[in-house]
Amino acid sequence: MHSPPQGQVARPAEVTAVVAFHEVSKWYGNVIGINKLSLEIRPGVTGLLGPNGAGKSTLLQLATGQLRPSQGTVRVLGEEPWNHAALNRRIGLCPEQDAFYEWMTGWDFVYTCARLSGMTRRDAHGSAQEAIAAVGMIGKERRAIRGYSRGMRQRIKLAQTLVHRPDVLFLDEPLTGTDPVARRDLMDIIQRLGREGKSVLVSSHVLHEVQSLTPNIVLINRGRLVAEGHVRQIRDLIDQHPHQIVVECRAYRQLAGRMLAWDDVEGVRVLESGRGVMVETRSPDAFYSRLPALSLEDGLAIEAVYSDDDNLEAVFKYLVNG
Amino acid sequence: MTTPAAATSESSHAASTTGAATARTGYAFSRFGALWTLFALTLRQHVRGKRWMIMGVLFLLPAGLAILIRSTTNEIYTVVPEFLLAWMFIPQVLLPLVALVYASGIIQDEQEEQTITYLLMRPTPKWAIYLVKLAATLVTTSVLVALFTAITYAAIFVGIDYSADNAAKTIDLAAATDRCLTTIGIHVLAVVAYSSLFGFLSIITRRTLVIGILYIALIEGITANMPFGIRLGTVIYYTRLIAYRAMDFVIQHRMGRVENLSAEAWQFDLKKDPHLLEHPDTATCLKTLLIASAAFAVLAAWQCARREFHVKTPEKE
């Protein structure tokens, strides 16, 4: 098996892989998407971490059979996913792109996906109801998707992933662009799925998001496996660097004032766009944990929170170079 | 390391057969239900889109021209606007255009709107996705063609003077209805052939619209109107042959002169071959169009099954 330079913690060998990549490469013409990657994902929630362009989406598309490996073999639940439509009854993908049949209502979208999965009308009806309830969209499901907020769109996208009750879930950046409340809710849902026995591979370019979901992390960069194992070791590396977090909020001056009072915040800079602030902190966990309360209690309408890639990139460089 | 083979045998998840997958998913699987939903989804997309409105406006042009002609003169033979509008303008321009506009988007629309993932992640093979969406496209284009061809015929024939004085210049409404139904049948056949062809093109190239328009202009527009064997490779040639044999576009002038509009316009040399024996018969024309349509559909489905469909992700953008 591939041995990453650092950050790897061996997991029990007797636990069987749900997803297995063996010497997989994927080229787009002359561009390498995935480079000789060997990896095994075991049951439970696993975080797939890497900066933008690392190959996370390619890896997920290979695992869900949308792409054919140029080299090597991919197996999901023991079967090769490429051109294996029947396997799609047991796997679900929440794609990264914010694309929908905008004219549909949330209910219509999830129900249609259930019917496309081959469910009878009755099963589809019940299952769509369950999936919509699971993502907390009851009461909003009859509205047109085009009128949904980003958080609602992510939730309904997750509902279509769950509607045919798959065993293995692939979630591609499910928290991107969501406000702190939606983010916390989505994290709860993902963790609950793990507890319910689903195998979940969730990709992100923000370590702290993934860390809140699972201690099992796979790090990839430039199409290569950089490290896999327990988050603690990776955190140790990343915490040596100040962490930069962008918080978008119209009342950014008020927000900056509140944040500067927090001990772990080392600096706050107003973005040139005037749409928010860039915060520098060495305790991102504590920082993230305070955001929902700030948004709810202080009435500061935080529109988006995301971490800049630079720090993560630095850790990748460190890991790759040893 | 656990090998993939071992993973198959050991994992509680790793049911290696489709049958096992069926058992584990916990719901009764309805293949027909999935395909029907995809068919209905595609029809809904067509109804929601703006294409049918644009095509509707274009298709109303011949009807508008017919009304214009009727309002300016009573001296015209009805076969003339019928031939020019329903048998020159519609087949030469509108039929291939409507087929191109709809068939080029069978898969490309889903790809551009990034919704194709929702289809690819379902237990329907890619070739079946293509064929079902093609079937829905054929229904949409056929309904559009039938509807607007009927409107064109109505604009030409409804309310016309059917008195004996005008008998030489027109036909009665029952005969006009027969001709309208025959025309609709042939037009639907043509639009099916065009849709299958352009659907295939859309699977092998992303420049379907450009190539399609060039095809319509150069192949169907120019070579089909030349009296050479090369026109055997066009859709319009076969539809014209069927129409020529099923309908007549002949004017009996008062002085006894007979004018055959279709033979002249479609380059059929009646002096040399008065019964068109050198051309394929109607059954051969029908078979050619249907077999070609089926062949393009199968080729496209086969190509679709082998292809990867990339969607733009924020990373790639």
Element (H, E) at A82: none
State residue A41 phi and psi, 5-degree precision: -110, 125
Please give the ipTM for the structure prediction: 0.83
CB atoms within 10 A of CB B193: 26
Q: Which residues touch A114 (CB under 8 Å, ≥6 apart)? A: A123, A124, A127, A128, A131, A163, A164
Of A17, A68, A91, the CB nearest to B7: A17
Q: What is the mean pLDDT of chain B?
A: 86
Tell me the per-residue pLDDT of B109-144, one tens digit each, with 9 for 90 and over.
999 999 999 999 999 999 999 999 999 999 999 999
Alpha-carbon distance of B219 to B237, in angstroms, equals 11
Task: Indicate the class that CATH gives domain A19-236.
Answer: alpha beta
The amino acid at residue A176 is T
- For residue B292, is pLDDT > 80? yes
Task: For chain A, say whether B43 makes contact (Cβ under 8 Å).
Answer: no
pTM as predicted: 0.82
Chain B residues lying within 8 Å of A68, measured CB to CB: 308
The amino acid at residue B196 is S
Alpha-carbon distance of B149 to B142, in angstroms, equals 10
Of B28, B64, B56, give the one whose Cα is nearest residue A118: B28
pLDDT of residue B256: 76
Alpha-carbon distance of A241 to A309, in angstroms, equals 12
pLDDT range class, residue B1, cuts 50, 70, 90: very low
CB atoms within 10 A of CB A82: 16
pLDDT of residue A275: 84
The arithmetic mean of pLDDT across residues B185-196, rounded, is: 98
Q: Do B15 and A77 touch (CB under 8 A)?
A: yes
Q: How many angstroms away from the CA of B18 is the closest CA of chain A?
A: 6
Q: How many angstroms away from the CA of B305 is the closest CA of chain A?
A: 7
Q: Do domains A19-236 and A241-321 have the same CATH topology?
A: no
The arithmetic mean of pLDDT across residues A275-301, rounded, is: 81
SS3 A34: strand
Of A17, A97, A164, the CB nearest to B114: A97
Of A43, A83, A116, the CB nearest to B122: A116
Specify whether the CB–CB gap between A39 and B1 falls below 8 A.
Answer: no
- For residue A169, is pLDDT > 90? yes
Q: Do B4 and A57 touch (CB under 8 A)?
A: no
Structure tokens at A78: 């023991």
Strand order in the sheet with A276-281: A265-270, A276-281, A243-249, A302-307
Among the residue ranges A7-16, A117-126, A300-309, B40-49, the one predicted with the least confidence is A7-16
What is the fold of A241-321?
Alpha-Beta Plaits (3.30.70)
Alpha-carbon distance of A180 to A293, in angstroms, equals 9
Of B85, B144, B136, give the one whose Cα is nearest residue B107: B136
Strand order in the sheet with A71-76: A31-41, A19-28, A71-76
Of B250, B219, B248, B249, give the one whose Cα is nearest residue B236: B219
Tell me the per-residue pLDDT of A30-44, one tens digit each, with 9 for 90 and over.
888 999 999 999 999
Q: How many angstroms away from the CA of B200 is the closest CA of chain A?
A: 20
Alpha-carbon distance of B3 to B7, in angstroms, equals 6
Alpha-carbon distance of B130 to B300, in angstroms, equals 8
Q: How many angstroms away from the CA of B4 is the closest CA of chain A?
A: 7
Query: Positive or negative CA dihedral for A224, A225, A231, A235?
Result: negative
Q: Do B13 and A160 touch (CB under 8 A)?
A: no
The arithmetic mean of pLDDT across residues A83-88, rounded, is: 95
**Domain-wise residue ranges, chain A:** 19-236, 241-321
pLDDT of residue A1: 39
